[in-house]
């Protein structure tokens, strides 16, 4: 694959994924924090012995850390990619819960948007996996 100043399609894909993760994480920690509580199923608070706000804050912090790690830890790229993919799998039940309950959250104000969001999870997992694998 030709390189332009050391950039490859995979490195650009990692960078974009990192930006999306950090942006989503910041939204969980700031302006969207209250709205994202809707996505957290009640069973998650029982299993984790905490409240919805703590889960939103923890997931936001995880997104910021994972996005940062994609860029800052190049030698751990494969492990970080696996962690990002696992994170996307772990939050999927929240997406299903939101779709089933029909409740709006930031950026997901219609039934159609919530339904389409479910199908975006697979490409996100694949993106994380592909962008962090060795050539």
Q: What is the mean predicted confidence (pLDDT) over 40-50? A: 94
What pLDDT, on the 0 to 100 scale, is given for residue 108?
A: 83
The answer as to whether 54 is a domain residue is yes
The answer as to whether 1 is a domain residue is no
Long-range contacts of 52-57 (CB under 8 A, 24+ apart): 56/28, 57/28, 57/29, 57/33
Q: Which residues contact 124 (CB under 8 A, 6 or more apart)?
A: 88
The answer as to whether 107 is a domain residue is yes
Residue 99: give the domain boundaries: 9-131
Q: Tens of pLDDT along 24-36?
A: 999 999 998 988 8
Task: Please state the pTM of the whole predicted model.
Answer: 0.88
The answer as to whether 14 is a domain residue is yes
The answer as to whether 115 is a domain residue is yes
Higher pLDDT among residues 14 and 4, named by residue: 14
What pLDDT, on the 0 to 100 scale, is given for residue 53?
A: 96
The answer as to whether 2 is a domain residue is no
Q: How many domains does the chain have?
A: 1
What pLDDT, on the 0 to 100 scale, is given for residue 4?
A: 52
């Amino acid at each position: 694959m030709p390189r332009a100043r050391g950039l490859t399609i995979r490195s650009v894909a990692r960078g974009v994924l990192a930006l999306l993760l950090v942006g989503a994480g910041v939204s969980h920690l700031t302006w969207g924090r209250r709205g994202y509580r809707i996505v957290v199923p009640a069973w998650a608070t029982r299993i984790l012995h905490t409240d919805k706000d703590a889960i939103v804050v923890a997931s936001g912090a995880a997104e910021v850390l994972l996005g940062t790690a994609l860029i800052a830890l190049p030698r751990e790229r494969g492990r970080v990619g696996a962690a990002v993919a696992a994170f996307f799998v772990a939050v999927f039940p929240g997406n299903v819960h939101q779709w089933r309950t029909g409740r709006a959250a930031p950026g997901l104000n219609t039934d159609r948007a919530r339904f389409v969001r479910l199908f975006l999870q697979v490409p996100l997992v694949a993106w994380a996996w592909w962008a962090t694998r060795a050539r």
